Amino acid sequence: MAPHADCDVANGNGRSASAQAGEIFAVNSPNVSYTDNEINTKYTYRTTAIETAEDGKLLATPKESVYDFKVDRKVPKVGMMLVGWGGNNGTTVTAGIIANKRGLVWDTREGKQAANYYGSLIMASTVKIGTDAKTGKDVNIPFNKLVPMVHPNDLVVGGWDISGMNLAEAMDRACVLEPALKQLVRKEMTGMKPLPSVYYPDFIAANQEDRADNVLPGSVACWEHVEKIRQDIRDFKAANGLDKVIVQWTANTERYADIVPGVNDTADNLLASIKAGHAEVSPSTVFAVASILEGTPFINGSPQNTFVPGALELADKHSAFIGGDDFKSGQTKMKSALVEFMINAGIKLTSIASYNHLGNNDGKNLSSQKQFRSKEISKSNVVDDMVAANHLLYEPDEHPDHTVVIKYMPAVGDNKRALDEYYAQIFMGGHQTISIFNVCEDSLLASPLIIDLVLVAEMMTRIQWRREDEDFKGFHSVLSVLSFMLKAPLTPPGTPVVNALGKQRNAVLNIFRACVGLEPENDMTLEHKLFA
């Protein structure tokens, strides 16, 4: 939908609610008011509390809680700093933003291709905001118009990499984009060079050593690395006149870090371990710590356990946003959607066999067993909450058999081959087998997720809320609202993990709806179901 002109709607206080530039609707409600700088809403959150009586009967009690939301309408100038900027994902997302910003069109074997943001939840999907008062038809708007969000064309991109190639050369090395498109963005990409990164050989595969020509001195964690990363963030922000920076890890998958009492189990111990040069602190954790101390949101797009307990505690102490883990782009997103459908349909899934082979540098790194183990964990736990929700199909400790295999095959490059077999029990002892062959163009699927994660994380920095008569505060430091884009969603301690794709999307959608004073959308459509 093309942007509409600014609209004026009388709100519940009789004042004019004038949508700012880029805002295409306003809400007419006594619970919503607008100022030049803020949207203020009073929102009733409805849930159901369940109690179990002595006879085992369940008692359901509807509950209502009233919250005030306050949204900063001013869209800031934002920078996106990527760790692993010179990799397949980093070069692809950078070229994609340049192409969209310039409105590029290029030749392909299938004809002309124009730049787009397909694959982005925020930029390429729509949401229903209500029904037309005259026709009764649904009114849908772009997801990114629900609240005042940053446009990816306006992002300033930078970052770090252990490889010193400029981004044009790195883009050629990645072998992802069409030659005609690469030529159109080559000038800008040639002028982009990653900052030196940290390189601790013990955490990534030995086959990555030949790329490590752009590294900071030191092969284990040290406080100088933390301070250098913090300074890099400050310099990038100042040089580009930015209001905010979001840092995202899109570098190599690391091995899992051991959780060692006295080393990384608390915030104080983690900081002391970095200063002491302890060998069990990973590069991604060092970047996370630097970002947290700098007050910069940090998102982990790889499967390793970047957020050790000490990092989680540090983020909480500094009220700094973090999110992770592992981009959910192709095979795992299909798995999340299909398993949710099958179990909700009452079909008992009994085994999932997932096989992948890929030839990009991610696959090369994953050919090492320790790094593969990190990926195996993130891909294997994506069905747990859906299985646990249906006690008619599964006993409390029962799970489908689930096997994940990844092989490095250089010839297929970034076009990962994913083969999945789903085996299930159906009516009266029958069985159903679903086999899927999925060619996942890895970086072209991951790049829109990188954008979505930045846009949503930034938006969350501009939302405050409170219970009545309390002070306003932000969301929990662990941004579980990012789960739709991530394989192994990070959640606050003691909070259930949700992997069901529909629930994850609704969480983002309904939080944004609450911010503008709209109820969660339902599909009852009672207005169309009454007798005449």
List, in order, residues 6 or more apart from 283 with CB less than 8 Å away.
83, 197, 198, 199, 200, 203, 221, 251, 254
Q: Are the C-beta atoms of residues 288 and 325 closer than 8 Å to each other?
A: no
Q: Are the C-beta atoms of residues 81 and 248 closer than 8 Å to each other?
A: yes
User: Which candidate in 244, 333, 364, 487 is catalytic?
Assistant: 487
**Spans in the chain with pLDDT lower than 70:** 1-22, 372, 374-380, 530-532
Strand order in the sheet with 401-408: 401-408, 348-358, 415-425, 431-441
Please write down the HEC assignment for all residues of 35-83: CCCEEEEEEEEEEEEEEECCCCCEEEEEEEEEEEEEEECCCCCEEEEEE
Which parts of 277-405 fold into alpha helices (H)?
283-293, 309-318, 331-344, 361-366, 369-380, 384-388
How far apart are the C-alpha atoms of 91 and 350, rounded to whole Å? 40
What per-residue confidence (pLDDT) applies to 6?
32
User: Which candidate in 232, 326, 362, 442 is catalytic?
Assistant: 326
Give the tens place of pLDDT for each residue, 128-180: 999 999 998 999 999 999 999 999 999 999 999 999 999 999 999 999 999 99
101 is catalytic: no
What sign does the dihedral 211-213-219-221 (CA atoms) show?
A: negative
How far apart are the C-alpha atoms of 369 and 412, rounded to whole Å? 21
Domains of the chain (ranges, CATH numbers): 8-74 (3.30.2360.10), 78-109+147-327+445-512 (3.40.50.720), 331-441 (3.30.360.10)
User: Which candidate in 375, 414, 420, 452 is catalytic?
Assistant: 375
How far apart are the C-alpha atoms of 439 and 433, rounded to whole Å? 20
375 is catalytic: yes
Single out the residue of 98, 102, 132, 100 nearest to residue 117, CA to CA: 100
Give the tens place of pLDDT for each residue, 470-508: 999 999 999 999 999 999 899 998 888 899 999 999 999
Burial of 412 (0-12, 13-18, 19+ CB in 10 A): middle
Record the pTM.
0.91
Q: Are the C-beta atoms of residues 94 and 79 closer than 8 Å to each other?
A: no
How far is CA 504 from each of CA 67, 143, 174, 218, 318, rounded to the nearest angstrom? 21, 15, 31, 40, 26
268 is catalytic: no
Q: Are the C-beta atoms of residues 204 and 249 closer than 8 Å to each other?
A: no
How far apart are the C-alpha atoms of 509 and 22, rounded to whole Å? 19
Q: Which residue has the tokens 């044009």?
A: 168
How far is CA 300 from each of CA 152, 246, 249, 274, 279, rounded to the nearest angstrom? 19, 11, 5, 19, 20
What per-residue confidence (pLDDT) applies to 530?
67
List, in order, residues 6 or more apart from 100 with CB less than 8 Å away.
115, 116, 117, 152, 153
What per-residue confidence (pLDDT) applies to 12?
38
Single out the residue of 252, 367, 366, 364 nearest to residue 302, CA to CA: 252
User: Which candidate in 416, 420, 442, 452 is catalytic?
Assistant: 416
What per-residue confidence (pLDDT) applies to 18?
43
Helix (H) or strand (E) holding 108: strand 105-108
**Cis peptide bond upstream of 210, omega within 30:** no
326 is catalytic: yes
